[in-house]
Amino acid sequence: MSAKTLYDKLWDSHVVRQDADGTALIYIDRQLVHEVTSPQAFEGLKLAQRKPWRTASMLAVPDHNVPTTNRAAGISDPISRLQVETLDANCVEYGVVEFKMNDIRQGIVHVIGPEQGATLPGMTVVCGDSHTSTHGAFAALAHGIGTSEVEHVMATQCLVAKKSKAMLVKVEGALGKGVTAKDIALAVIGKIGTAGGTGYAIEFAGSAIRALSMEGRMTLCNMAIEAGARAGMVAADDTTIAYVKGRPFAPKGGDWDKAVAYWKTLHSDAEAKFDATVELDAAQIKPQVTWGTSPEMVVAVDGRVPDPASATDAVKRGDWERALAYMGLKANTPITEIKIDKVFIGSCTNGRIEDMRAAAAMAKGKKVAANVKLAMVVPGSGLVKQQAEQEGLDKILIAAGFEWRDPGCSMCLAMNDDRLEPGERCAATSNRNFEGRQGQGGRTHLVSPEMAAAAAVAGHFVDISKE
Amino acid sequence: MRKFSLLDGLVAPLDRANVDTDAIIPKQFLKSIKRSGFGPNAFDEWRYLDHGEPGMDNSKRPLNKDFVLNQPRYQGAQILLARENFGCGSSREHAPWALDDYGFRVIIAPSYADIFFNNCFKNGLLPIKLAAEKVDVLFKAVEAHNGYKLRVDLERQAITAPDGTEYKFEVDAFRKDCLLNGLDDIGLTLQHVGEIKAFEAKHRAAQPWLFA
């Protein structure tokens, strides 16, 4: 048998049928559900008088619309409230397990899946959310789908798909001081562009990736979609298995040993061929900061805002000019001279316990700068919040002047009340710096939690690799 | 699903790359639990001068006259001409719903983000990939001629310009069939219930923990 990539193995083990032109039916092991992209799918099922194929494969949670303060008062926006209530009602009607807003297990869908062991190596995982790529960190084939596909998976347990090409992103060496998985992700996107991974499933490999914790691997796979790849993945190893062990939905007893034996096969074979390979030297990666309105508009923190005059073509020049105007930045400004108004630490990219620890370590014994109007930390789940509080991280952050909030998507996309006002500039640990993403007219700079916390304290970006 | 076969449509040019789905339909409109009604808020932040919220009377809002879709010559456009990586970012199917509700039936661009591309086909919307140089030629032609229309023939996989130039395009055979015949994906998949059940039984035997 010929050598296989991890992607080949995951794909091959889920093909129900395949037509001559490559159109396949892929079996889906896990569907994660949230309130924004599911109501129309449930409604479609109802209209066609269909039932979910396998309710036990679904796990639901409200995350996008939930408030991050004063939860006991409920959701004040009636439209947001209706959307969450609709999820609640659909889950009751169809018998889907849901962690409701005030359940300690509630959180961002891409944080709670792994946290509960509902994401397992070897699985196919889908969700009506592009950041489903996160779950690929567990050697799972995971990607975002649209609402029509959400309904399709509910009704048939399958997805109509064609196999993607395979890309290997290899990062060798040791990361320098203050450099994180987030910086690897941004450096990769800076190198290949936001469409560089279009049509590909990316496998992240190399010694720098193997050295990452599961939290770091999730951060990296989360951002695969920002490079255009629907799926990102990392081979299973002892780190993966240790993370999964003992979690509520993880296999137990004899199943555990069988599962582990299988999971250990979930890596690319030594001779496996990829359609494209990208290599990065970990030691060369510096803390990254985006300067524009696309994640590919990124430079190292010791760099400068680029000059549109140096863009390679007219379309790109126009995009850069528009981005600079939107961001209120001048070409050639040193990144460390950019002052910020707000700080957002959280999201499915960087809302896990390690991220909370990193932020607290930077903030310890310091104060948020006077020019920073709001620095908020939003844990990715109720359990992340609980653990952080057990470690005393909340006290450190609050003492430094940060706000310590309840879990949800929050200001990553500003569907709830957490948002930027027009013109406000934010250091954010989330994944998208698109125009208006964090609030109409808001200006987003994507960074790691360490960089965001350091910027909160200094009032501007700082090169934490030199601190 | 609505069928698509042939269209003679007015073309509107959106001359920027990496147009993301947040721009196509901003998040506040995602709170709707319906599939329809997103058209008046397509490109909301570019299209209007004020901040849009669900429930507003959009006909009374101040328009951004500089935004291309607000120009009188592009009213009634059914074909959207765009640049690289159109529809990147969020998987929200509200983006194709909004474009469809606005009146677009065809998008022409050099490349698309995968999830958006896929979502279009589920909604009777045809996203056509055309080489960047050809898209460039079309951008210039649209600028130069008021009322510029293109004929899009899915059966023949061809776009015909007013001057008779023909641009052939590729489309996946399965998706073409679904669009031409208005086929419902779920109905098609359920024709294979036996195979799905057989696969599931085998899968359960191999990895019982997935079904615990």
pLDDT the model gives residue B184: 86
The CA-based dihedral angle spanning residues A407, A189, B99, A165, taken in that order and rounded to the nearest 10 degrees = -110
Q: Encode pLDDT of A191-232 as tens digits.
A: 999 999 999 999 999 999 999 999 999 999 999 999 999 999
Instruction: Please tell me the distance in Å from B126's CA to the nearest CA on chain A.
Output: 16
Nearest to A152 among B28, B83, B189 (CB): B189
Nearest to A194 among B18, B92, B210 (CB): B18
Residues 6+ apart with CB under 8 A from B171: B126, B128, B154, B157
In A164-309 the beta strands, taken as DSSP E runs, fall at 165-172, 200-205, 231-233, 276-281, 288-290, 298-300
pLDDT the model gives residue A1: 61
pLDDT the model gives residue A410: 97
* Cβ atoms of A346 and A380 closer than 8 Å: yes
Q: Which of chain A's residues have a Cβ under 8 Å away from the Cβ of B26?
A: 436, 440
Q: Which of chain B's residues have a Cβ under 8 Å away from the Cβ of A48?
A: 186
First-residue to last-residue Cα distance in chain A: 52
* Cβ atoms of B1 and B123 closer than 8 Å: yes
% helix, strand, coil for chain A, step of 5: 40, 20, 45
For residue A163 the two structure tokens come to 């196999």
What single string gives the DSSP state of each residue in A297-339?
SEEETTSBPPPGGG-SSHHHHHHHHHHHHHHT--TT-BGGG-B
Cα angle: A129, vertex A375, B22; to 5 degrees: 30
- Separation CA A175–CA A183 (nearest Å): 10
pLDDT the model gives residue A386: 98
* Cβ atoms of A455 and A461 closer than 8 Å: yes
Give CA A341 to chain center in angstroms: 24
User: Chains A, B: CB contacts under 8 A, how many?
Assistant: 192
Q: Do A145 and B115 touch (CB under 8 A)?
A: yes
* Cβ atoms of A297 and A290 closer than 8 Å: yes
Instruction: Please tell me the distance in Å from B159's CA to the nearest CA on chain A.
Output: 24
Computed over every residue of chain B, the mean pLDDT equals 97
Nearest to B83 among A53, A226, A315 (CB): A315
Q: Which of chain A's residues have a Cβ under 8 Å away from the Cβ of B35?
A: 40, 43, 147
Instruction: Please tell me the distance in Å from B119's CA to the nearest CA on chain A.
Output: 6
Q: Do A80 and B31 touch (CB under 8 A)?
A: yes
pLDDT the model gives residue A329: 98
Q: Encode pLDDT of A147-169 as tens digits.
A: 999 999 999 999 999 999 999 99
Question: pTM of the full predicted structure?
Answer: 0.97
Residue A100 is given by DSSP the state -
Order of strands, sheet of A141-144, starting from the edge strand that comes earlier in the sequence: A97-98, A58-60, A30-33, A124-127, A141-144
Q: Do B113 and A77 touch (CB under 8 A)?
A: no
Nearest to A450 by CA among A171, A293, A210, A216: A216
Nearest to A156 among B45, B119, B189 (CB): B189
ipTM (interface pTM): 0.96
Task: Say which amino acid occupies A461.
Answer: F
Q: Do B189 and A322 touch (CB under 8 A)?
A: no
Q: Do B91 and A129 touch (CB under 8 A)?
A: yes
Instruction: Please tell me the distance in Å from B42's CA to the nearest CA on chain A.
Output: 14
Q: Which of chain B's residues have a Cβ under 8 Å away from the Cβ of A152?
A: 185-186, 189
- Separation CA A287–CA A456 (nearest Å): 16
Computed over every residue of chain A, the mean pLDDT equals 97
Nearest to B111 among A37, A198, A432 (CB): A198
pLDDT the model gives residue A103: 98
Instruction: Please tell me the distance in Å from A311's CA to the nearest CA on chain B.
Output: 14
**Residue A467 confidence (pLDDT) above 80:** no
